[in-house]
């Protein structure tokens, strides 16, 4: 929506406001301009609003240089125009059309523009209705075949023309020095195909917009991708590192050591099942555990009680451990 000097204007296609690009304001000429996309076959309407200036206004619409009467606004409100009257009860809608191959016209500075000119006026008296206009049969001005121009669609029924209108004079005639109303503000919409606007860098490319805002896959749609890892609770734990190897005992020792260790840690026969009470070790085993210096101190076995037990099993006289 373009806004300047208390008025706004915009183009509507299929019930939606057309996006505007590179809006520029010329405060000297009281003109606002922008670029809009246009596609062949689209019908469009021109809307404008008075934001409460409390002064009557009338408007004129210029399509590639062809002037169509607009509407009156009485100091506030909104109105629109979407076609040109072809009879008292019919109209041809505004429509973007493709320039034919045989198009041949003269140069025109208004080619490719939709211009809304708003004038502030004073209503003087009733006036006869506007004369029915003849509609151009082809594209106006010199342009390239295949481009889009602002033309007119097929004729369709429309509300009947009012029996009268108003004669007006300039509201600001002391400023312009003329009785003819001057343009108070104008809005210029330069229309081009989406491809042209993209190629000129006026609008962002579709590919860049997709890369910036990628669409997420829809639910139920099959997407080929690397499968996600299972949840931690469902994952098979990886193998733990192997424990360090213990020194291997000689065969003659292992049988007796395992026997004595098993006997030492076995539950008492009279204990209940599951009890943790252990059998009291024999006197020889207690003496072996209390020994702190013995004959094997110079061997590879540390003095831990178990080594003493091993040597005792092999036939060493137990008397040597007595105090």
Which tens digits make up the pLDDT trace of 120-133? 999 999 999 888 98
More confidently predicted of 248 and 178: 178
291 in a domain, yes or no? yes
Query: Quick one: pLDDT band at residue 245, thresholds 50, 70, 90?
Result: low
Tell me the two tokens of residue 256. 């007796």
167 and 301 belong to one structural domain = no
Helix (H, G, I), strand (E, B) or coil at 210: helix
Residue 109 has pLDDT above 70, yes or no: yes
Digit-coded pLDDT (tens) for 150-197: 999 999 999 999 888 999 999 987 666 677 899 999 999 999 999 999
46 and 155 belong to one structural domain = yes
User: What is the structure's pLDDT at 194?
Assistant: 94
Count Cβ atoms within 10 A of the Cβ of residue 34 and give its class: 0-12 exposed, 13-18 middle, 19 or more buried: buried
User: What is the structure's pLDDT at 226?
Assistant: 44
Residue 210 has pLDDT above 90, yes or no: no
Digit-coded pLDDT (tens) for 39-66: 999 999 999 999 999 999 999 999 998 9
User: What is the structure's pLDDT at 15?
Assistant: 93
- Best-predicted range by mean pLDDT (202-211, 248-257, 300-309): 202-211
Report pTM: 0.62
User: What is the structure's pLDDT at 71?
Assistant: 94
User: What is the structure's pLDDT at 289?
Assistant: 64
161 and 308 belong to one structural domain = no
Mean pLDDT value across residues 305-320: 45
Residue 260 has pLDDT above 50, yes or no: no
40 in a domain, yes or no? yes
Tell me the two tokens of residue 210. 């997709």
Q: Of all helices (H) and strands (E), which one includes residue 230?
A: none
User: What is the structure's pLDDT at 105?
Assistant: 61
| 310 CA to centre of own chain | 79
CA Rg value for the chain: 50
Expressed as residue numbers, the domain containing 88 is: 2-205
- The DSSP bridge pattern shows strands 185-192 and 31-37 to be parallel
Total number of domains in the chain: 2
25 and 82 belong to one structural domain = yes
Residue 292 has pLDDT above 90, yes or no: no
Query: Which residue has 């806004």 as its token pair?
Result: 3
Q: How far is CA 120 from CA 27, 46, 256, in A?
A: 17, 18, 120
Query: Quick one: pLDDT band at residue 104, thresholds 50, 70, 90?
Result: low
47 and 174 belong to one structural domain = yes
100 and 35 belong to one structural domain = yes
- Best-predicted range by mean pLDDT (27-31, 130-134, 254-258): 27-31
Q: How far is CA 62 from CA 65, 114, 118, 189, 279, in A?
A: 5, 6, 11, 10, 113
Q: What percent of the chain has pLDDT over 90?
A: 46
- What backbone phi and psi angles, to 5 degrees, belong to 33? -130, 160
Mean pLDDT value across residues 297-314: 45
Dist. CA 179–CA 174, nearest whole Å: 9
User: What is the structure's pLDDT at 137?
Assistant: 75
The set of residues, in sequence order, having a beta carbon less than 8 Å from that of 129 and lying 6+ positions away, is 161, 162, 163, 164, 165
- Nearest 5 degrees, angle CA 184-CA 131-CA 79? 45
170 and 298 belong to one structural domain = no
Query: Quick one: pLDDT band at residue 236, thresholds 50, 70, 90?
Result: very low
255 and 201 belong to one structural domain = no
Dist. CA 11–CA 94, nearest whole Å: 11
220 in a domain, yes or no? no
Dist. CA 224–CA 167, nearest whole Å: 71
Query: Quick one: pLDDT band at residue 147, thresholds 50, 70, 90?
Result: confident
Count Cβ atoms within 10 A of the Cβ of residue 185 and give its class: 0-12 exposed, 13-18 middle, 19 or more buried: buried
User: What is the structure's pLDDT at 198?
Assistant: 94
- Best-predicted range by mean pLDDT (78-92, 93-107, 212-226, 265-279): 78-92
Mean pLDDT of the chain: 75
107 in a domain, yes or no? yes
**Nearest CA among 256, 280, 259, 277 for reference residue 267:** 277
Q: What sign results for the dihedral spanned by CA atoms 319, 320, 321, 323?
A: positive
Longest CA–CA separation in the chain, Å = 145
Residue 319 has pLDDT above 70, yes or no: no
Residue 293 has pLDDT above 60, yes or no: no
Dist. CA 131–CA 86, nearest whole Å: 10
Last residue of a domain, one of 205, 238, 263: 205
């Amino acid at each position: 929506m373009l806004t300047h000097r208390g008025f706004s204007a915009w183009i509507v296609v299929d019930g939606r406001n057309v996006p505007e690009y590179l809006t520029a304001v010329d405060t000297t000429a009281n003109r606002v301009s922008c670029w809009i996309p246009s596609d062949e076959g689209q019908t469009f309407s021109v809307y404008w609003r008075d934001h409460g200036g409390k002064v009557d206004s009338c408007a004129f619409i210029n399509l590639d240089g062809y002037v169509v009467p607009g509407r009156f606004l009485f100091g506030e409100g909104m109105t629109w125009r979407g076609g040109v009257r072809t009879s008292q009860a019919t109209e041809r809608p505004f429509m973007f059309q493709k320039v034919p191959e045989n198009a041949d016209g003269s140069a025109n500075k208004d080619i490719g523009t939709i211009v809304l000119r708003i004038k502030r006026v004073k209503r003087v008296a009733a006036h006869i209705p506007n004369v029915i206009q003849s509609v151009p049969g082809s594209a106006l001005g010199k342009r390239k075949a295949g481009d889009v121009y602002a033309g007119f669609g097929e004729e369709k029924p429309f509300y009947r023309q009012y029996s009268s209108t108003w004669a007006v004079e300039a509201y600001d005639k002391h400023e312009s020095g003329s009785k003819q109303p001057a343009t108070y503000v104008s809005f210029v919409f330069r229309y081009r195909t989406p491809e042209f606007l993209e190629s000129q860098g006026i609008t962002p490319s579709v590919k860049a917009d997709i890369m910036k805002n990628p669409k997420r896959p829809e639910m139920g749609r099959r997407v080929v991708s690397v499968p996600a890892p299972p949840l931690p609770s469902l994952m098979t734990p990886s193998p733990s590192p192997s424990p360090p190897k213990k020194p291997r005992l000689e065969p003659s020792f292992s049988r007796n050591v395992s026997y004595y260790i098993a006997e030492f840690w076995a539950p008492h026969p009279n204990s209940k099942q599951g009890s943790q009470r252990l059998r009291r070790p024999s006197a020889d085993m207690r003496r072996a555990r209390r020994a702190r210096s013995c004959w094997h101190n110079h061997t590879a076995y540390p003095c831990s009680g178990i080594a003493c037990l091993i040597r005792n099993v092999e036939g060493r006289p137990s008397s040597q451990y007595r105090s």
